Amino acid sequence: MSNKLELTDAEWRAKLTPEQYRIMRQKGTERAFTGKYESFFEPGQYKCAACGQPLFESKTKFHSGSGWPSFYAPVNEDAMEEHRDSSFFMVRTEITCSRCGAHLGHVFDDGPHPTGLRYCVNSASLEFESDPNSANATDATQEKR
């Protein structure tokens, strides 16, 4: 793809927080239950915190109890790439942003219906943008009461 975002290591360090750099560029993992989106269920869209590419919709987010934000499907098939990861004596499938290559987390095959997949993502790799229509939806709910 022509819209890939490729920066030097120094540029990534300048752009990201130290925690984001550790996770997104060095394939780190935030501690379970510490991420800002772990128990966050507002309507909207989750984008790559490094480049802004849309990654997940809030409607596919579910509470997995794993300690990390979990989704059962990406926003589209082109949003991320999968890589075999055999570090830590486990074989897992790593997911990275297809635009900037940032490490997001891993995908497992023990997720809920309808995909059976669980995209386990670091909050630090995500930037939430609330749905502009959600404010109206809240108003409508309140008017009914």
105 Ramachandran zone, left/alpha/beta (phi>0; psi -120 to 50): left
Minimum Å gap between C-beta 130 and Zn ion is: 20
- 16 sits near Zn ion (criterion: CB under 5 A): no
1, 36, 85, 138 from 21: Cα distances, Å: 24, 16, 19, 36
Q: Do 75 and 50 meet the contact criterion of CB atoms below 8 Å apart?
A: no
Minimum Å gap between C-beta 51 and Zn ion is: 3
Minimum Å gap between C-beta 90 and Zn ion is: 25
Q: Which of 16, 23, 51, 104 binds Zn ion (CB under 5 A)?
A: 51
Q: Is 51 a catalytic residue?
A: no
* CA 13/CA 114 separation, integer angstroms: 38
Binding window for Zn ion (CB under 5 A); candidates: 7-15, 49-57, 66-74, 81-89: 49-57
Among 85, 109, 82, which Cα is nearest to 98's?
82
- 102 sits near Zn ion (criterion: CB under 5 A): yes
* CA 125/CA 19 separation, integer angstroms: 10
Binding window for Zn ion (CB under 5 A); candidates: 13-21, 31-39, 62-70, 101-109: 101-109
- 97 sits near Zn ion (criterion: CB under 5 A): yes
Among 50, 53, 101, which Cα is nearest to 74's?
53
- 100 sits near Zn ion (criterion: CB under 5 A): yes
By annotation, the residues acting in catalysis are 120
Q: Name the site residues for Zn ion (rule: CB under 5 A).
A: 48, 50-51, 53, 97, 99-100, 102
